[in-house]
């Protein structure tokens, strides 16, 4: 019922909605948390799992770039929930990389995945690793889709560079505690980049890893 409501409010449908149905949020939140409430949940280490409506919105916006065989990057992958949904969407010939800056978070996300979807990790379709979200994953670029799950003060140039022509990135942009917007970045086939603000949001900051 909760997902049906999300489908109505966010427009998510098709493969994106099926991926959300296939990944149980309860596997990705701390014990005792209200897994299905439409609010962010703390997962430790000053990180959160985004509210379901934001996950649904992100997958809806990226769905045309998460087709079977596509390559995707999930920055600030946190609990691993959205990385798993993205990996289901890109299929057995696709590839998703999830990065977070803290080893304990990455280890937790791997444990979460093993509860119901160990095959995604075992097959290599999904890789979760420690990384600097501001730098992305150059070795795996270019990506058809990039999702960023924490607010960058401005759009990280490295992530725009790692977006494939014809690709799309969605991310929150703005200062911690200040005005933040959910932003869609499209890289056109001729290399031009267009930026569309989609509405106000509140996210934890995208941490810069010290050099």
Q: Which residues are catalytic?
A: 50
Strand ranges for 71-192 from DSSP E: 71-75, 95-100, 126-130, 143-148, 163-173, 180-187
Beta partners for residue 9, in sequence order: none
Beta partners for residue 173, in sequence order: 152, 181
Tokens linked to 23: 């990944």
Q: Kind and range of the H or E element at 42?
A: strand 41-44
Peptide bond into 142 cis (omega under 30): yes
Q: Region of 35 please: left (phi>0), alpha (psi -120 to 50) or beta.
A: alpha
Tokens linked to 34: 């209200």
Kindly report the three-state secondary structure assignment for every residue of 55-97.
HHHHHHHHHHHCCCCCEEEEECCCCCHHHHHHHHHHCCCCEEE
Beta partners for residue 44, in sequence order: 47
């Amino acid at each position: 019922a909760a997902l049906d409501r999300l489908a109505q409010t966010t427009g998510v449908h098709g493969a994106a909605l099926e991926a959300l149905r296939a990944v149980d949020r309860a596997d990705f939140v701390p014990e005792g948390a209200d897994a299905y409430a439409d609010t962010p949940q703390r997962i430790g280490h000053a990180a959160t799992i985004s509210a379901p409506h934001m996950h649904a919105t992100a997958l809806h916006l990226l769905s045309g770039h998460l087709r079977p065989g596509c390559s995707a990057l999930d920055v600030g992958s946190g609990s691993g929930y959205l990385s798993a949904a993205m990996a289901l969407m890109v299929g057995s010939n696709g590839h998703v990389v999830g990065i977070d800056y803290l080893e304990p978070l990455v280890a937790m996300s791997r444990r979460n995945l093993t509860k119901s979807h160990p095959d995604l990790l075992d097959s290599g379709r999904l890789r979760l690793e420690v990384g600097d979200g501001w730098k992305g994953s150059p070795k795996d670029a270019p990506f058809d889709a990039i999702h960023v799950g924490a607010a960058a003060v401005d759009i990280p140039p490295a992530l725009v560079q790692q977006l494939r022509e014809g690709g799309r990135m969605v991310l929150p942009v703005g200062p911690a505690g200040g005005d933040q917007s959910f932003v869609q970045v499209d890289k056109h086939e001729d290399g031009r980049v267009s930026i569309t603000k989609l509405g106000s949001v509140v996210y934890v900051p995208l941490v810069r890893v010290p050099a």
